[in-house]
Amino acid sequence: MTLGRATGVSLQGLLGSVIDIECDIADGIPMYSLLGLPDTSLQESRDRVRAALTNSGQKWPNKKVTVSLSPAWLPKSGPGFDLAIALALLVADGVIPQGPLDGAIILGELALDGGIRPVRGVLPSLIAAYKDGFTRAIVPRANQSEAELMEQMEILSFENISEIYRWLSTGEYPFNEVIDLAIDHESGALDFSDVAGQAKARFAAEVAATGGHHLLLIGPPGAGKTMIASRIPSILPPLTVEEALEVTAIHSIAGGLTQRSAMSRVAPIISPHHSASRASIVGGGGRNIQPGAISLGHRGVLFIDEAPECATGILDALRQPLESGTITIARQVGSVTFPAQFLLVLAANPCPCGKYSGRGHGCECSSLQVRRYLGKLSGPLMDRIDIRIDVDPVGRIELASQELGESSAEIRKRVIAARARAAIRFKDQQWKLNAHIPARALRIEYRPERAAMNFLHDELDKELITARGLHKVIRLAWTLADLAERPIPNLEDVKSAYQLREGGY
């Protein structure tokens, strides 16, 4: 037989397309042709495949080799097709049988010595293949723990081509170790008990975690803004299995599973530097579009420290994802949509020198400099921030105290209980968090008490809040009511929510 077939997957964001790989060996001038819109890294597969097969004891056919990747109109990229091309070539050369490869998805990059290297996006690739009817996958050994998350499929992992050749020749599978797929709760070392004082900021973090509200912390250097923000994941409820798989798929595409367990139930926290580019924040790329920080923070926290120092337009690029929960990146090769439902936490100094407090204390910044500095956080962006808190310096009494603050475990219990009350209220709705209640539902089904609405309408008439701000306050009030175990927000809840939003709490 001079024709061999194998199957791979081409990813476009989280969505994958099954690719049929055909290899034909014919008489003629020795050459290698790769068809099907391959990119540069895929064109280079010729040399990788040839070296890998030769160094594994196989012969390279001294004939005309043609490899076709179908559908031909779909651009393909990356080295993840190396192994499938190599196996299709061996079938065409009569070295291995075609049968065992039928119905199997093959993923893997080849090293020159015949080893099989890990690739990105294994989990979303297998999900796409399973939806297309495939029930078996051949993957690199290093990707096995990720691949085993697809429990509906038979996963075969190999270290090198020689192991695959032995398996196809004798039926002997060389790896029988059981992978532990226990849910990883990895609590970590960060805990709110480490935070001294800062009762207002701690409460704001609890409210933000309960309702999914975006948070801005303003305070001088060393006040504890970063410490508080970095501990918010420790009070978020554990991810569900479905959410954990979704987060793992995104991090797999971005190559981030070296820092995160494949089955972690802990909400992720992404902290890009304030000098990060727009593409690194929202995602981008050429033919291979990659998720950005906002998608890596999906179901978790996106924390941007020194927010006013970000380049012009970076933070404003977050405005649309904050509203929709998704980001669509359009390029010449097409468009890709990534989920981006994150809790945004911004931290900022009160002025360029960081010492401004309204009481002097060594600040030499003029009022114009202060306004310009905080003015870098645009009005439309600030209108989308639910909670604004001034973080004051910690006093010596709090630092000298030997009593630890309330632990993350205790706070998380209240967050989970409050979210459970909200879940009962939203049991027939598509949303689960107070921050996601649509504006129409706020006007009809989820109105606070009459006195509370009258207060908000007065503030709206005075043009002290916008229509979006009014809705934000109502959503915050529902979260405060859930924490206080009240069935409906009252005037006190709405006033507290208004103060949290306006920074006067």
User: 247-282, pLDDT tens digit by residue?
Assistant: 999 999 988 776 777 778 899 999 999 999 999 999
**What is the chain's percent helix, strand, coil content, to nearest 5?**
40, 20, 40
Residue 384, phi then psi, degrees to nearest 5 = -95, -5
For residue 4, give both structure tokens: 């061999």
Judged against a pLDDT cut of 70, whether residue 358 lies above it is answered with no
pLDDT category, 400, cuts 50, 70, 90? Answer: low
Do residues 27 and 88 make contact, with C-beta atoms less than 8 angstroms apart?
no
- One-letter amino acid at 317 equals A
pLDDT band at 402; cut points 50, 70, 90: low
CA angle, residues 18, 22, 26, in degrees to nearest 5: 170
Confidence of residue 173 (pLDDT cuts 50, 70, 90): confident
Domains annotated on the chain, with CATH: 3-170 (3.30.230.10), 192-408 (3.40.50.300), 437-505 (1.10.8)
pLDDT band at residue 392, thresholds of 50, 70 and 90? confident
Residue 36, phi-psi category: left (phi > 0), alpha (psi -120 to 50), beta (remainder): left
User: How far apart, in whole angstroms, are the C-alpha atoms of residue 175 and residue 158?
Assistant: 8
Whether the link from the prior residue into 393 is cis, omega within 30° of 0, is no
Question: Position 292: which residue type?
Answer: G
Q: Where are the alpha helices (DSSP H) in 21-81?
A: 40-43, 45-55
Q: How many CB atoms lie within 10 A of CB 502?
A: 15
User: Which CA distances in Å does 204 have to 85, 269, 504?
Assistant: 55, 18, 12
**Confidence at residue 177, expressed as pLDDT on a 0 to 100 scale:** 60
Evaluate whether 76 touches 107 at the Cβ level (below 8 Å): no
Rounded Cα distance, 118 and 143, in Å: 6
Kindly state the average pLDDT of the residues 77-102.
Answer: 93
Question: What CA–CA distance (Å, rounded) separates 125 from 116?
Answer: 17
Q: For residue 59, what are the CA distances in angstroms to 51, 54, 55, 389?
A: 10, 6, 9, 68
Question: What is the rounded distance in angstroms from the CA atom of residue 375 to the CA atom of residue 475?
Answer: 26
Lowest mean pLDDT among 75-89, 232-246, 354-368: 354-368
Strands (E), 314-436: 326-331, 334-339, 343-348, 387-390
Which residues, other chains included, contact 440 with Cβ-Cβ below 8 Å and sequence gap of 6+?
Answer: none
pLDDT band at 196 (very low <50, low <70, confident <90, very high): confident
**Tokens of residue 293, six digits:** 């920080």
- What share of the chain in percent tops pLDDT 90? 65
Q: How confident is the model at residue 246 (pLDDT cuts 50, 70, 90)?
A: very high
C-alpha span between 457 and 360 (Å, rounded)? 37
Q: What token pair was written down for 470? A: 């009014």
Looking at residue 208, its pLDDT comes to: 97
Instruction: Give tens-digit pLDDT for 107-138.
Output: 999 999 999 999 999 999 999 999 999 999 99
What pLDDT band is residue 292 in, cutting at 50, 70 and 90? very high
Q: What is the pTM for the complete model shown?
A: 0.89
397 phi/psi in degrees, rounded to 5? -65, -45
Residue 442 CA to residue 395 CA, distance in Å, equals 41
Question: What is the distance between the alpha carbons of residues 171 and 57, in angstroms, rounded to a whole number?
Answer: 19
- pLDDT average, residue stretch 26-38: 91
pLDDT for 161 beyond 60:
yes
CA distances from 330 to 128, 181, 288, 315, 399 (A): 21, 36, 12, 19, 51
Q: Which residue type occupies 381?
A: L
Considering the chain, what is the average pLDDT of its residues? 89
Pair 340, 325: CB distance under 8 Å: yes
Asked if pLDDT for residue 178 goes beyond 70, the answer is no
**What pLDDT score was predicted for residue 255?**
82
Q: How many CB atoms lie within 10 A of CB 43?
A: 11
Between β-strands 15-26 and 301-304, what pairing exists: parallel, antiparallel or unpaired? unpaired
